[in-house]
Amino acid sequence: MRFDTRLVHVGQEPAQGTGDVSPPLHLTSTYAHGAQVQPAYFYARGENPTREALERALAALEEVRFATVFPSGQAAGATALATLAGAGRAIVSDDVYGGTHALLTSFGLDVRVVDLADPTAVAEVFADPWADDALVWVETPTNPTLKVADVAEVSRRAHARGCVVLVDNTLAGPVFQQPLRWGADVTLYSTTKSVAGHLDVLGGALVHDRADLHELFVTHRTTTGSVPSPFDCFLVHRGLKTLSLRTVRQAATAEKLAAALRESPHVGEVRYPGLPDHPGHTLATRQMSGFGPVLGFRYRGDVAALLRRSRYFTDAVSFGGVRSLAQCPAATTHRSVPTDLRERLGITDDLVRLSVGIEDPADLLEDLMGALDPA
């Protein structure tokens, strides 16, 4: 069964007894033991058929056995940190989502922030015995500067030190990148973004192929009660079915917008892995099958005014949804990142991040070019 067929069929088998082509939504908190042919369901914090159907579908995307879903990407990340950072140490991509920085701080770990897109920095950090048994948290492409890390090389060096490698694949999404195939141990998703795709639900997931990690994640989720509702699982699963259709369209439009932005006198640097002069373009071409719906650029003007002028790019955080969004990361998603790190990474007040939706590409291009130049 190929990828696009798995999107539609896995976890969506017609219901036994009634034949529902769309599986029923199991809105229950508990289960009658005597009504079950083979008792498998005890309490909904631990088991729910709607949740399990989504987990089967997400695991199938990377052709592995396990996925564990959560009420948000942050909840998935918190579970990963609680269960995988047993040595109390973590090696983390320098340019990660702002919420990830906050999460790492709250766990009180000994963290080394490393440019994992730089092969020299990768070699140096794993040459140090300090790295032994650390959790390695990779984000690629990064949010919002879109740096690209070599998952295979990072995983090779990390595993030699006994590390577990987690890749936050939220920005690329499973259509364009599958980290487990390149050696990572766990893929993290905020399913809120491209996987669900309709800006109407929160969700998160950890995808992997290790039975020991599956037991750790499920036990922690059940014990802490970090479970998504059946209805939220239903919404994520519904969105998943059109994932390829949406994201291929979005990436094609993003590439056109990136090329147009490079020609504008109102724009400085444009960051998009699909551009031939992007520092990670060659690696992205090898590691990814497409370049995703997100791009960044530096605006030579008033960013707040630019966002107000746009008709079709809504000034809002998040990305990967059907509606196009635009925001200034320095003022929103990354405002909690330490100022010195933010400035070093180039997450400054002139940086604009676009999340390209499924609107007509011509409308988005006209709108963006018009907003850049108010004259």
Which residues are catalytically annotated? 45, 97, 168, 193
Bridge partners for 205 per DSSP: 69, 189
Would you give the distance in Å from CA 345 to the centre of its chain? Answer: 20
What one-character-per-residue DSSP string does 22-53 give?
A: SPPP---SB--GGG-SS----BTTT--HHHHH
Cα 338 from Cα 330, distance rounded (Å): 11
Q: How far apart are the first and last CA of the chain?
A: 53
If DSSP codes are grouped into helix, strand and coil, which group holds residue 221? helix
Where does residue 134 rank: exposed (0-12), middle (13-18), buried (19+ CB within 10 A)?
Answer: buried
Cα 270 from Cα 294, distance rounded (Å): 11
Would you give the distance in Å from CA 192 to the centre of its chain? Answer: 9
Q: Record the tokens describing residue 24, joined without a space.
A: 């029923």
